[in-house]
Homo-oligomer: A and B are copies of this chain.
Amino acid sequence: MSGQGTILVTGGAGYVGSHTVVELLNNNYSVISLDNLVNCYAETENHKPESLKRVEKITGKTVTFYNVDITNKEALNKIFKLHKIDCVIHFAALKAVGESVQIPLTYYQNNIAGSSTLFQVMQNHNVRKLVFSSSATVYGIPQFLPITEEHPTGQGCTNPYGKTKYFVEEILKDVCISDPEWRVILLRYFNPVGAHKSGLIGEDPAGIPNNLMPYISQVAVGRREKVNVFGADYDTPDGTGVRDYIHITDLAIGHVQALVKINEPTFKGWDVYNLGTGRGYSVLEVINAFSKASGKPIKYEIVARREGDVAASYADATKAKNELNWTTVRDINDMCEDTWKWQSENPHGFQKG
C-alpha cells in the first residue's frame, strides 16, 4: 500500500536522493523520481539508473523514473499532469564546489533557473509542498559553534555552489510570502557520508572525490595512493579540521520526518532544520575510524591548508530533535563500516568494472 501519498523526488538517482527514496518506500510513500543522469550511471538514457534498480532490490518496491532535467518546463508539466503529486523533495542540483568556480553560469542555470522553473510548474499544478535539499554551506564561515538555524546565511559563501543553495532558500522564502498556501521545509545538511547498510547503494562520485570520506575509501580500496590532509595546524584537538559527519541513512530519515512535519495541519509557510549529529570529528579521527572499520592502513600526508576551509563546523541539531522528532542513531563507526561495505563490494561504484 502507499497510503502516505505520492512524492516527486528530483535528483532521485543521486546519493542523497536514492537513500531518501529507500526510506520513503519503507514508509509506504509512492515515489516518482526524476533525474537528468549527469551525475549517475544508467546503462542507456532509456534505462532506469542503476542506483534506483538497487533501491527497488532493497525495498522490493517500484520507483517510477523519468529522465528529465528540471530546466525543461514542458517535461515537468507532463509529469505533473500524469501524476497526482502530494509533495516534492527537491535534490536535483549540480554539486561540485570546485567545478562551480570554473563554470558558474552552468551552476546558476541548473540550480537557480531549474529550481524556479520547478516551483513555477508546481504552482501551476497546485502542488505547494516542498522539502528542499539545502546545505550548511549557506552559513559561510561559522560565527559561532554549534551552528543553530538562526546563524546568519549568505555571508561569505565563497563559491557559486554554496550561493545557489542560499539563493534558492531566499527564493522559497519569497514564494511563501507571496502565497500562504505554500509549505516549505529547508533542510541544511552538514557532511553526509556512509552508505545503505545493504552495501547496494552509496556515494559514487565522478572523477576525483571532493569529499573526505569517499576519498579515504578509494585509498582503502587501492584506487588512490594517499589522503591529503589539508592543514594540521588548526585550533582543534589534533590540529586537523573538524566536521559534523552524518550517516546518509539518518539524513534520509530526516526527510521522511520533514514530510510528517509539513503535513501537520498547523504547519504554515517555511521552516528550516539542520541535519547533523551535533558532534564533530577531525580528519585524523575519521581516517583512524575508517582504518579500523576496513582493516586497511590508510596512508595520508599533511599538506597546506585549503583556501576557504575553516577549523571546525558542526550543527546544533536540537531543533530537528524537538520539532521533527528526529535524531541521528548511527555513529562514526557505522559511517565507516557502511562506506567500506559499499566501496569494497562496488570498487567502481554503480558501473560494472
Contact of A109 among B116, B155, B163 (CB under 8 A): B116
What's the Cα separation between A159 and B170 when bound, in Å? Answer: 10
Where chain A touches its partner, the secondary structure class is helix
Q: Which residue in chain B gives the minimum CB-CB distance to A108?
A: B116
> Using Cβ atoms and an 8 Å threshold, which residues of chain B touch A174?
101, 104, 108, 159-160, 163
> Using Cβ atoms and an 8 Å threshold, which residues of chain B touch A171?
104-105, 108, 160
> Using Cβ atoms and an 8 Å threshold, which residues of chain B touch A119?
105
Q: Which residue in chain B gives the minimum CB-CB distance to A123?
A: B105
What's the Cα separation between A117 and B113 when bound, in Å? Answer: 9
> Using Cβ atoms and an 8 Å threshold, which residues of chain B touch A120?
105, 109
Count residues of chain A with CB under 8 A from any CB of chain B.
26
Could you tell me the distance in whole angstroms from the C-beta of A104 to the nearest C-beta in chain B?
Answer: 4
Q: Mark A8-22, 1 if CB is under 8 A from B, else 0.
A: 000000000000000
What's the Cα separation between A163 and B113 when bound, in Å? Answer: 15
Within 8 A of B (CB), among A148-189: 154-155, 159-160, 163, 167, 170-171, 174-175, 177-178
> Using Cβ atoms and an 8 Å threshold, which residues of chain B touch A123?
105
Decide yes or no whether A208 CB sits under 8 A from chain B. Answer: no
Decide yes or no whether A102 CB sits under 8 A from chain B. Answer: yes
Q: How many subunits of this chain does the assembly comprise?
A: 2
Could you tell me the distance in whole angstroms from the C-beta of A173 to the nearest C-beta in chain B?
Answer: 9
Within 8 A of B (CB), among A114-157: 116-117, 119-120, 123, 154-155
> Using Cβ atoms and an 8 Å threshold, which residues of chain B touch A104?
171, 174-175, 177-178
> Using Cβ atoms and an 8 Å threshold, which residues of chain B touch A112?
108, 112-113, 116, 167
What's the Cα separation between A116 and B155 when bound, in Å? Answer: 22
Could you tell me the distance in whole angstroms from the C-beta of A76 to the nearest C-beta in chain B?
Answer: 13
Decide yes or no whether A329 CB sits under 8 A from chain B. Answer: no
Could you tell me the distance in whole angstroms from the C-beta of A77 to the nearest C-beta in chain B?
Answer: 15
Is there contact, CB below 8 Å, between B178 and A103? yes
> Using Cβ atoms and an 8 Å threshold, which residues of chain B touch A101?
174, 177-178
What's the Cα separation between A154 and B167 when bound, in Å? Answer: 11
Q: List 13 A-B contacts (CB under 8 A).
A: A103-B178, A104-B174, A105-B120, A105-B171, A108-B112, A108-B174, A109-B113, A109-B120, A112-B113, A112-B167, A154-B154, A163-B174, A167-B167
Additional 18 contacts, C-beta under 8 A, given A101-B174, A105-B171, A112-B167 = A102-B178, A103-B178, A104-B175, A104-B177, A105-B119, A105-B175, A108-B116, A108-B171, A108-B174, A109-B113, A112-B112, A112-B116, A113-B116, A154-B154, A154-B155, A155-B155, A163-B170, A163-B174
